[in-house]
Amino acid sequence: MPLPSVTRSLSAKLLVLTVLFVLLAEVLIYTPSIARYRLTYLEERLAAAHLAALSVEATPDMMVAMELQNELLAHVGAHAVELIRPDSRVYMLSRSMPPTVDAVFDLRAAMAPRLTADAFMALAQRRDRVIRVIGPSPKDPAFQVDMVMDERPMIQAMVDFSGRILALSVAISLIAAVLVFVSLTRLLVRPMRRLTEGLVAIRRDPDGTPPFQPSARTDEIGVAERELADMQATIRSALRQRERLAALGTAVAKINHDLRAILSTAALLSERLAESADPEVRRVTPRLMASIDRAVELCGQTMTYTRDGLLPLARTTVPLRSLVEEAGTTALAALRPDVVRPDGERVELRWNNRVPEGLTVRADAAQLSRALVNLGRNAAQAGAGAVTVMVETRPGGGLLLLVSDDGPGLPPRARDNLFQPFAGSARAGGVGLGLAIAREVLRAHGGDLRLVESTAAGTVFALELPPGIVVEEAGRVGEMPTSDSPIPD
């Protein structure tokens, strides 16, 4: 898979996002700023109007000539001014013919949301309005100023302010974007690109790619680089081991084929020994036959394990009780009928099916039966007198099959190497493939196999099946009759 182009790379996205976020921050800053600018503009006009109105008090007869009034109002930028003192005296300045007022703004009780809305409404105006502004004087809040003025000069001042803010925002966003882009490119993007190139190279040629050299960084990037180097070394080791195991498996398969032919011949000859007139030969013949059977079983399990790989599942709808019953029959039929206790008495092993009728699941019947057969045969070969299968339903449609026996329990060596092929056998001469294969079957279904307990009173395994496997559930666990299937003679 090729690396992305420059325009679609992480660096380009980072640059664009940085610019957009800085501009968004400037917009959020601009909103209260423009409202504050308009309020300040009006307050300055109110302060100027206050000073202009006080000129009336300086005249001898409290009258100002019209020419002076027009000059004072032009200085303030208003058509009329009314100043109300705390003692209720009023000073007025007005043109001879003041225009009609289009809108009134009272600053005495205006809150921030209202001021912001008025500011944006002013910017959206397309006609020249005359507004009346009422508010306390910034020079002395005890005075109230009532002023009539044109709105257009204020709007023009707000537009000029917005232009300065926009220019400043663009400059800040570009400078911030460049600084953030350069910093993050050096700290994150380049190391990430190096990691990506390393991963792509390892995927293309896991064994021929030069070893990835991690940097001396101690942050998360450094940890990722060291983990990638370790992963590459692990993959190389696994590939070499797989090649060796593949060659070994091919050799074992060939040897296994010839060995099974030899054992088949030995089995045929051993059956004739049972008809010998020599009592000693007849006595040791069953032991010889059992040894040959174990050798054939070892060859068969080894071939099955090496041939399977990933288990393909052919899911069908199957009654669980019938599946367990057939698995028990298969497991018990494969055992020799001459199993005896240490005291010499024959043991009659039984398969107790306690799965209720009406419980239907969607699973690979052959594979799931194979897992149950392996557990049953392991229990019987370990010396169990009975194997019991029970079921528990879980929320979401999951199932828990409990396979218990009354055997002597697993020895410490078997527990330490549980589910490990060729290492976890509980009996002498075993290969430990039964549990390994059973676990693979359960994991292929999305579940798992785990050991619940193993004591002198017996061993319990749990076959966990995932939610959604139950198709139909009728009856309740524990209410159905038990089916006890003895080993056929």
Strand order in the sheet with 458-465: 448-455, 458-465, 399-405, 386-393, 350-353, 483-486
Whether the Cβ atoms of residue 470 and residue 361 lie closer than 8 Å to each other = yes
Distance (Å, whole) CA 43 – CA 45:
5
In whole angstroms, give the CA distance from residue 480 to residue 147: 95
Whose tokens are 């007025």? That residue is 92
In this predicted structure, what is the pLDDT of residue 428?
47
Structure token pair of residue 436: 């390994």
- Rounded to whole angstroms, the Cα distance separating 434 from 453 reads 18
Q: What distance in Å separates the CA atoms of residue 187 and residue 232, rounded to the nearest whole number? A: 23
Q: How far apart are CA 181 and CA 186, in angstroms?
A: 8
Alpha carbons 129 and 293: distance in angstroms, whole number: 108
pLDDT in 10s for each residue of the chain, 489 residues: 454 555 666 667 777 777 788 778 878 888 899 999 999 999 999 999 988 888 777 776 666 677 888 888 888 889 998 888 887 767 788 887 878 999 999 998 888 889 999 999 999 988 899 999 999 998 888 899 999 999 999 999 999 999 998 888 888 877 877 887 788 778 887 888 888 888 888 888 887 788 888 888 888 888 888 888 888 888 888 877 777 766 766 776 677 667 767 777 777 766 666 667 777 766 777 767 666 766 666 666 566 555 545 557 888 999 999 999 998 888 877 665 544 444 444 546 789 999 999 888 899 888 898 899 888 888 887 788 899 999 988 777 788 999 999 888 888 777 777 777 655 455 544 456 778 888 888 888 889 999 999 888 899 999 999 887 887 765 444 433 344 444 333
- The β-bridge relationship of strands 399-405 and 386-393 is antiparallel
